[in-house]
Amino acid sequence: MSRFTPLNWPVLRQLRARDPFGRGTPTRSQRTDAITARIEEADRVVKSVCPYCAVGCGQRVYVKDEKVIGIEGDPDSPISRGRLCPKGSASEQLVNSSSRITTIKYRAPGATEWTELDHDQAMDMIADRFMEARRNGWQDVDNQGRRVNRTMGIAGLGGATLDNEENYLIKKLFTAAGAIQIENQARI
């Protein structure tokens, strides 16, 4: 580190270089010159959508060694134009949190502890319960004798963390299964 001298003050360097607004190199220090953005280390940039609400703000996800190292607003997004709310700005913590659960957890009725399930077992349990609820709540005709072909045993609540295409497919699935109680979090 160089020895301090009054001639090396940033204001004097600024005046000598005729930089009255302090926007040029005279006001920069060696430390400032050595700083790089953390996202410069990224191997790739992936475009995504913020998972928090129904607005659908665009995000740029910076990945290094298959790990998310940063998330910022996408200036190409016509919705958010590069801006994110505080929750969207902190969504990197959602991905990299040490308390994030990455396995399927199940707590049986009456149990006090959670157990881990494998993917196939969990999918089979969900499908069995879905079909049983559909079968138990099925109505061919209503109280006035009109054909309705519906189930009152299933309801759907879509989330705003899904995009329009995913919510559309979920709506189609529930309608095909005979459910009529289909709602979305964005409307509630």
Q: What is the pLDDT of residue 186?
A: 66
Q: What is the pLDDT of residue 174?
A: 92
pLDDT in tens, the chain (188 residues): 466 677 667 777 777 777 777 666 766 677 877 888 777 888 899 998 888 777 788 999 999 888 888 889 999 988 888 888 888 888 888 888 888 888 999 999 999 999 999 999 999 999 999 999 999 999 999 899 999 999 999 998 877 667 778 888 888 999 999 999 888 776 66
Q: What is the pLDDT of residue 4?
A: 66
Q: What is the pLDDT of residue 86?
A: 87
Instruction: For 102-153, write each residue's pLDDT tens digit.
Output: 899 999 999 999 999 999 999 999 999 999 999 999 999 989 999 999 999 9
Q: CA-CA distance, 51 to 162, in Å (whole number)?
A: 7
